[in-house]
Structure 1
Amino acid sequence: MTHLPDRSVFDGHNDLLLNLWLHHDDDPANAFFSRVSPGHLDYPRMRRGGFFGGLFAVFIPPVSYIARMRNQTDDEVLDYFDPLAIVERQIDIMRILERSSEGRLKICRTASDIERCRLNGRIAAVLHIEGAGAIDAQLAQLEKFYQLGVRSIGPFWNTPNAFGEGVNGAFPGTPDTGPGLTAAGESLIHACNERRLMIDLSHMNEKAFWDTARLSNAPLVATHSNAHALCPQPRNLTDAQLEAIAHSGGLVGVNFGTAFLRADGKRDGAGTDLSTIINHIAYLIAKLGEDRVAFGSDFDGVNVPDALEDVEGLPRLVQALSDAGFSDSLLEKLTWRNWLRVLAETWGE
């Protein structure tokens, strides 16, 4: 019997929950299981695109961004802006999706959960906190979030919090944009290691990255970052950082955002074709090895190439990789096996 390659995709980062909270908070399940607009993701398009799961970010956006998206003033947003409440609501939205899914979606806490979803045709959803601004310096909320199913935390987005500062420089620039981890940040790294929560490096500045590399006993993972050598975006990873990730047995999820792909840093969907994604994947494989590169789309959070458009474009990307000479076995690693490996190693189950 001829072996048919598995074209399923497990993706390292998306902002669906933010999108649902901003635009469909009154009935997120109805939107998700029919059509989410605007946006890159919903259940029907996931199924057509071969997307069977990923890390779903829980993110506290800036007040000005909420105001723009909801056609409100900053003062109107400030009347209800509560970082902890926003995080809890986005987690609740995921729980609503699971309850409403009739078995079509599951919040996964182990790599075995994800594998069962893949085999059974379910969406495997991993809760990921992007920016730990809702957690205080004493980490009082961390255990609650863990019990709710959170299995991955990125301590930073672009702005400072109790744990340090995210990378926040302008293009072109380096990741060296601020100080390293605070004492609370070091405690957060240790606490994540103790609970076997994955730590996301993607929004860390360079000093915080190296602090984490020194302190953490887990594989180093950047869920949605690219190669700085190809695109000098401060959020992208230098060769030295890639070497540290490789040495740890970690992983980089390739970001599909045009600003993180293009050498000129432009947010230009029309002028960016799939070869830019392929170039970053090939470069990262050369630096990390084929077991340490995967997808980290940043769907619903970035401007993606028009040639991809949304989650339905994933088969086009996989076909383009195949046409570029990527073998079926390598494609399976890139599209899901590498993520399952690093999650199993990090979580221990």
Structure 2
Amino acid sequence: MKVWDMHCDTLAELRYAQQAGKPKSFLHNDLMMDLERMKQGDYLLQCMACFVHLEPEREKSPLLACLEEIDIFYRLLEQYPDDLMQVRTAADIQTLLTSGKRGMMLTVEEGGACLDSLGALRDLYRLGVRMMTLTWNFKNGLAEPNIVPGTDDMWPRPANTTGGLTEKGLEFVEEMQRLHMLVDVSHLSDAGIWDILRVAKRPFVASHSNARACCPHVRNLTDEMLTAMGEKGCLIGLNYCASFLDTNPDRSQVRSRITDMARHARYIMDKAGEDCLALGSDFDGIDGDLEIAGAQDMPKLAEGLKKEGIPERVVEKIFYGNAVRFFSENL
């Protein structure tokens, strides 16, 4: 079964390996995503996120870090032209469907990489970026995340219900929607998500988020958010991270299991509709006890969801059908 995955952090891992003087091949490596694994998993398209860390001790320049990951992305396309194809437009999607290649779409995880510059945002679009989160786990000039400082030892953590979008953040949303760069609300505060639901004129995504009613992690979406996003025609990517799936109060023992993925999937579809659910693995951004441990395991997930009672027709929509339709309509 074909796979369209809305989020992975592989570009960042390739960059870190390069910086350490131990570059990794994308043909085959020890990460969760490489070309061989994509072929084993029958991938149609992978959204490749440029993950950027805002802490100064981690990155001298967030924008430079983003550009270096974009450079890696383009070098992969140059290295494997017979296997990989960049997707920027709806027309590219139609070409991809009959090409026999694996699609690659550039995205950004951390709107702070733009340094509050609408010009930088437009330049990222010109370079091929088609989706961006406003935040990661740090407050920036655009918005606040749902990770509240000083709550690491609390379970469940309190949600950020007061720190929404700044005026600059609202400007970014307006410009992203004008460009048809998808706004991604994963990692965004509760207040920020409601701000976007209020002002967005076009559908948006939560590329890698689950249902908070099924697991009370603040990275997950509330019932009200799921319903509102469904009404707006948004797309939600099921995240494979154990912390967002498992309710075990001993957070050191959480596991990522297909049974929990199916539980979240059914719940999200019940609240938002079956047209609103897709995949957002978070590969190479998650670790721990994972039943789906890499791109090669996607056939196992498809069979597992069917064994959990989700009809094959619906599994196909989750795996690729909804994403093909949504991106074709909104790029």
**1:16 match:** 10
Which moves more between the two structures, 48-57 or 84-93? 48-57
Aligned residue type for 1:294 = A
How well do the aligned residues superpose, as a CA RMSD in angstroms? 1.9
Aligned: 1:159 with 2:138: yes
Q: Does the 8 Å contact 2:274/2:314 carry over to 1?
A: yes
Q: Does the 8 Å contact 2:54/2:138 carry over to 1?
A: no
Q: Does the 8 Å contact 1:274/1:305 carry over to 2?
A: no
- The one-character-per-residue Cα deviations of 1:98-153 (angstroms, maximum 9, x if unpaired) are 01113211221013323432432211111111111121334120111111101111
C-alpha distance in structure 2 between counterparts of 1:22 and 1:177, whole Å: 34
Which moves more between the two structures, 169-178 or 47-56? 169-178
Aligned residue type for 2:169 = G
- The one-character-per-residue Cα deviations of 1:15-55 (angstroms, maximum 9, x if unpaired) are 01011001135686x610122x2x21111011111222121
TM-score, normalised by the number of residues in structure 1: 0.88
Aligned residue type for 2:87 = C
**1:314 match:** 298
Aligned: 1:132 with 2:111: yes
**1:4 match:** none
User: Identity of aligned pairs, percent?
Assistant: 31
Unaligned regions of 5+ residues in structure 2, if any? none
TM-score, normalised by the number of residues in structure 2: 0.92
Q: Does the 8 Å contact 2:54/2:112 carry over to 1?
A: no
**2:50 match:** 58
- The one-character-per-residue Cα deviations of 1:130-179 (angstroms, maximum 9, x if unpaired) are 11112133412011111110111111111011112111134413433541
Aligned: 1:120 with 2:104: no
Q: Size of the alignment, in residue pairs?
A: 324
Aligned residue type for 1:55 = C
**1:68 match:** none
- The one-character-per-residue Cα deviations of 1:313-341 (angstroms, maximum 9, x if unpaired) are 11111001122232222121010011112
C-alpha distance in structure 2 between counterparts of 1:235 and 1:254, whole Å: 12
Instruction: From 24, 36, 40, give the equivalent of 2:32.
Output: 40
Aligned: 1:185 with 2:164: no
Unaligned regions of 5+ residues in structure 1, if any? 1-6, 65-73
C-alpha distance in structure 1 between counterparts of 2:232 and 2:198, whole Å: 11
C-alpha distance in structure 2 between counterparts of 1:326 and 1:278, whole Å: 8
C-alpha distance in structure 2 between counterparts of 1:267 and 1:11, whole Å: 27
Q: How does 1:138-153 map to 2 (within 5 A)?
A: 138-153=117-132
**1:109 match:** 88
Distance 1:255 1:207, change over 3 A: same
The Cα shift of 1:219 comes to 1.0
**1:209 match:** 193
**1:232 match:** 216
C-alpha distance in structure 1 between counterparts of 2:313 and 2:279, whole Å: 15
Instruction: From 218, 223, 229, give the equivalent of 2:202.
Output: 218
C-alpha distance in structure 1 between counterparts of 2:188 and 2:127, whole Å: 25
The Cα shift of 1:256 comes to 0.2
C-alpha distance in structure 2 between counterparts of 1:305 and 1:109, whole Å: 34
- The one-character-per-residue Cα deviations of 1:233-257 (angstroms, maximum 9, x if unpaired) are 0110000111110110111100000
C-alpha distance in structure 1 between counterparts of 2:205 and 2:127, whole Å: 22
**2:308 match:** 324
Q: Does the 8 Å contact 1:193/1:217 carry over to 2?
A: yes
Q: Does the 8 Å contact 1:256/1:304 carry over to 2?
A: no
Aligned residue type for 1:9 = V
Q: Does the 8 Å contact 2:5/2:46 carry over to 1?
A: yes
Runs (4+) off by over 4 Å: 25-28
The Cα shift of 1:199 comes to 0.3
Q: Does the 8 Å contact 1:258/1:267 carry over to 2?
A: no
Aligned residue type for 1:151 = R
- The one-character-per-residue Cα deviations of 1:57-115 (angstroms, maximum 9, x if unpaired) are 11112559xxxxxxxxx5xx56xx21111000000100000011132112210133234
Secondary structure of 2:113's counterpart equals coil
**1:86 match:** 65
Secondary structure of 2:114's counterpart equals coil
